[in-house]
Structure 1
Amino acid sequence: MESIATIHQEMRELVEGYQREPQPQILQRLDRGFQRFTQLATLFLVSERDTYYGYFFMSMSFRTNYSTDAIAGILLDVYPPVFEANPLLLFMLSLKEVMYAFCHEVDHVVFNHPAEMVRTNPERDPGLFKLFNYAADASVNDQLNYEIAQGKKFLSPPKGVITSELLAKRFGLSKLAPRQDYLYYFNRIKDRVNASDDSEEASRRSGTAQKNAAPDGRQGQKGFSIGNHTWESASGEDGGDTGALDEMLESATKELLNNVNDLMDEEARSMMPARFTERIAQINEPPRLNWKQLLKQYVGTISAEKLKTRSRLNRRQPMRYDLSGTKESKTLKIAVAIDTSASMDTEQLKSVFTEIFAIVAHRRYEITVIECDDSVQNVYRIKSPEDVKLDVTGRGGTLFSPTISYINDNRYFRDALLIYFTDGFGERRIPRPRTYRNLWIILGPIKHLSVENPYGIVLPMED
């Protein structure tokens, strides 16, 4: 029976022969050999080594591409997803390094790097794209290298593969933690490049892998990149809609991961690494509302009945002066409580009230601001975001009861919406607000809200 090692050696000899004398028939043999190799590699992973990666390759098709300067990559804009490789580069690696490249590409998808690449670089800046590749590669390779140290002896990293250690040396970063997500590395190296006044130096640091490559495609200390990732056939260079690309990559990733999960039985699922099971749970969570969406829903539930009035013309027939116009009979009341002991800065306050006014723009409304720390400090009405007194008073400890008591003692707020902005740290128990609906918006994690029963929905400030 043909072994994976035998096919690998055959492919390597074909590549060396093509380098000596390029002939089309050699490429044809490489195409056929690549298909045989990927079939055996999939069986090898599923039956003997690592079912996690094996199930991914069972959910893909494979093809060669001799025009790319990337060793390998997964294309998500086709179904089923395609694992694409350049055999002339791939089979210059050792067998263990080839398996490393295969697993490397799978983990990029599991870590959601395709969609995150678009989100972090909506303007498609080539420099940021290069930095993203560095960060994403370091995140994936650190994890693979850790697993090799734990016993995955069928993998071996190509010499000079990009890791957190290499990033620290290349960009002059101290205390760079290993095995972090891509965003940690992306922000660290981006800040480092942006801090440089020398644009040539910044350009050198964010240069491509191929620029410094050795003749065999490797880079040694310069940093060896397996793929210059785009995760789509069209490479995203047509100026298409970034939002649509983001959604496509997100959707394709979700479909692939769910297909892989469906192939498994319960025993196989129980052996999956945490990064896979966590991503499966994450992508299948029901959509979460943010506070702006919820406020829109709340506003929509408050009826605004029309009353006839002679003081307005009829909108349908404005020339008929004998017909009455209409006006809303209901004024939308919103009480915005601001915990002045929390760390809301001027820009956050501006952003919050701009959002609120945009949501209520088509209604008659009255917005009351209540500033409170351990007592109510200031109460005033506003008609636009510019009316907000940004130099809020207070900055003492936090108690929620004084604000609730103030609202409950004033019948005006009986049919109002209460929105409470706070960092969450305060009392454990509060009186029930006598308002129409209540929404707590927490500046940090929602678990920081100390109130046992907030009598309303609790959402984070950030989406």
Structure 2
Amino acid sequence: MESNFEDQVKELYEKANKIADVSFKTNYKNSKADKDVLEDFEKEFFSLADKVNLGLMEDKDNFYGYFLFQMSRKIRFDISSPTAVNFKGAKYVIYFNPIIFLNLNINQMETTIKHEILHILSMHLIRAKEFKRNYSTLAVNMAMDIVVNTYLDNLPPYSTTLDWVNLKYDLKLLPYKPFEYYVEKLQIAIDLAAEEGKDGPEDHGGKDEKTETEYNPENTHDIWEDSSEIDEKTLKEFTEKFINSSQKGTIPHYLDSMISSLKNSNGELPWNLYLKRLMGTVPSNKKKTITRRNRRQPDRMDLRGQLRNHKAKIAVAIDISGSISDEEFNQAIKEIISIVKNYNHEITVIECDNEIRRVYKIKSVKDIRDRMKIRGATRFNPVFEYANNNNINLLVYFTDGKGEDKLQAVPRGYKTLWVISGRGDKLSLREPYGVVKKLNNIEARDDIPSINECIRSGYSMMNQEPEQI
């Protein structure tokens, strides 16, 4: 069986190269002879793919086999990876580049199929669109591949793995971290490599401009852009249907965790994860460099290129009005500590009741100050006036929500995230001009911890509503 499989792979590989040589690729010739050659090749290729899928369905991880069984299958010679996926016409489609796919052994073939399905379960097809606005395609692709490849064995030798990335960019990235962690670290490393004039990933070529013969991490997920226009909620519903039809027995713990996370999500992110998402979308400051050519005009040697500086200006407003208890104030301080620890940006704290009482910058948790003794009423407007006049990229406002019903100073050029304290109910504003999230409820205590105790205790990301991603 194994010998027959290898012979079939070898024969198909030779046919695939001949087809590519005569320009059969995505838009095939119109002649009947050309179509017949293509149809015969597709039948033979998918017969081999069926054998691979049979192995998946007989394996302990048979979830992947049943998931693949529901997908449409197509051949594309113009993708720069052995397999790729997108969503077309109410169905997930898996694409095969025979020239790259047929260079793998059967275990690697199974792994590259699992790789694509894990991208689907992680909702990467949707998330990639959001992050490519502010991160390079290479950083996004590699970060997403690290996330899914961590769970896989028998990877093709060129796969983007954590060890490979750490070695290539001289990093010490940790395993099992969220996508946001990897994409930010990788983008900084990629920009630094460009600044130092180091070569990026090789530009793998093919037989012509539309045939890919080797893996290229920068282009491997280009086909995601070709998916049908669909909102996240609807795509999630379709994905759940595929999942429900694929669960025929026990599944590995990591798969169960992914599926549970997807099914339990109502589309709402808790405040800390939403903040991470916002941090990926705020405009990054740019710095000029002579070591990178201008992207718009690469032949103009007199124009300087740009590197991402990733130094956004975050304003963190704290409601210190009389309706805010000491527990709620300290709860907000704990959240600010988490921001300081997780983001290397310029952070300004604004303490406000009916007017701004104090403004100061913080670089570490040691810079956070004790609460002032003033207990006025609550007005949101002064903070927005300050933000409008100080080139803020992002405003995070901690409050119990009890203020005006209308803002006089409408936010200009920055995003707003409202975080309602544990005892708060809802935001009084009719139009919040931003997203509103709520912390977990807190109980009244007699022994209110000091600011120093909050700092010593640190923050575990657990004092919030259940994670919903």
TM-score scaled by structure 1?
0.56
In structure 2, the residue matched to 1:377 is 373
In structure 2, the residue matched to 1:255 is 238
Task: Give the counterpart of 1:112 among 123, 130, 148.
Answer: 123
Letter in 2 for 1:114: L
Instruction: Render the CA deviation track for 1:157-184: whole Å, top value 9, x for unaligned.
Output: 22232211111122121x2324444333
Pair 1:419–1:98, CA change in 2 (3 A): closer
Secondary structure of the residue that 2:377 maps to in structure 1?
strand
In structure 2, the residue matched to 1:192 is 189
Task: Give the counterpart of 2:329 among 326, 335, 339.
Answer: 339
Cα RMSD, aligned residues only: 5.0
Pair 1:424–1:368, CA change in 2 (3 A): farther
In structure 2, the residue matched to 1:83 is 94
Letter in 1 for 2:234: S
The equivalences for 1:106-255 within 5 A come to 106-122=117-133, 128-145=136-153, 156-173=154-171, 175-195=172-192, 198=195, 200-201=197-198, 204-205=199-200, 207=201, 210=204, 217-218=213-214, 225=217, 228-230=220-222, 232=224, 234=226, 248=231, 251-255=234-238
Q: Structure 2: 5+ residue runs without aligned partners?
A: 25-33, 272-320, 341-345, 359-368, 387-422, 428-436, 448-457
Secondary structure of the residue that 2:155 maps to in structure 1?
coil
In structure 1, the residue matched to 2:110 is 99
Identity among equivalent positions (%) equals 15
- Structure number with the higher helix fraction is 1
1:274 aligns with 2:275: no
Instruction: Render the CA deviation track for 1:242-286: whole Å, top value 9, x for unaligned.
Output: xxx6x6356325422432223434xx1xx2122322233222326
In structure 2, the residue matched to 1:153 is none
Q: Is the 8 A contact 1:30 1:87 kept in 2?
A: no
Question: How many residues in Structure 1 have an aligned counterpart in Structure 2?
Answer: 330
The equivalences for 1:64-83 within 5 A come to 64-83=75-94
1:44 aligns with 2:58: no
Instruction: Render the CA deviation track for 1:400-446: whole Å, top value 9, x for unaligned.
Output: xxxxxxxxxxxxxxxx9679999999987359xxxxxxxxxxx9567
Letter in 1 for 2:333: A
Pair 1:264–1:225, CA change in 2 (3 A): same
Residue 18 of structure 1: how far off its partner (Å)? 4.3
Q: Provide the C-alpha distance between the structure 1 equivalents of 2:63 and 2:259, rounded to a whole number of angstroms.
A: 13
Residue 39 of structure 1: how far off its partner (Å)? 2.7
Residue 192 of structure 1: how far off its partner (Å)? 2.0
Letter in 1 for 2:184: N
Residue 461 of structure 1: how far off its partner (Å)? 13
Q: Provide the C-alpha distance between the structure 2 equivalents of 1:32 and 1:370, rounded to a whole number of angstroms.
A: 74
Q: Provide the C-alpha distance between the structure 2 equivalents of 1:281 and 1:462, rounded to a whole number of angstroms.
A: 10
Q: Is the 8 A contact 1:8 1:91 kept in 2?
A: yes
Q: Provide the C-alpha distance between the structure 2 equivalents of 1:72 and 1:382, rounded to a whole number of angstroms.
A: 56
Letter in 1 for 2:139: L
Q: Provide the C-alpha distance between the structure 2 equivalents of 1:335 and 1:461, rounded to a whole number of angstroms.
A: 28
TM-score scaled by structure 2?
0.55
1:285 aligns with 2:264: yes
Q: Is the 8 A contact 2:56 2:110 kept in 1?
A: no
Instruction: Render the CA deviation track for 1:42-92: whole Å, top value 9, x for unaligned.
Output: 222112453021121122111112333443211124322111112233223
Q: Provide the C-alpha distance between the structure 2 equivalents of 1:5 and 1:459, rounded to a whole number of angstroms.
A: 53
Q: Is the 8 A contact 1:77 1:233 kept in 2?
A: no
Residue 194 of structure 1: how far off its partner (Å)? 3.7
Higher relative contact order (CA 8 A, sep 6+): 2
Q: Is the 8 A contact 1:71 1:87 kept in 2?
A: yes
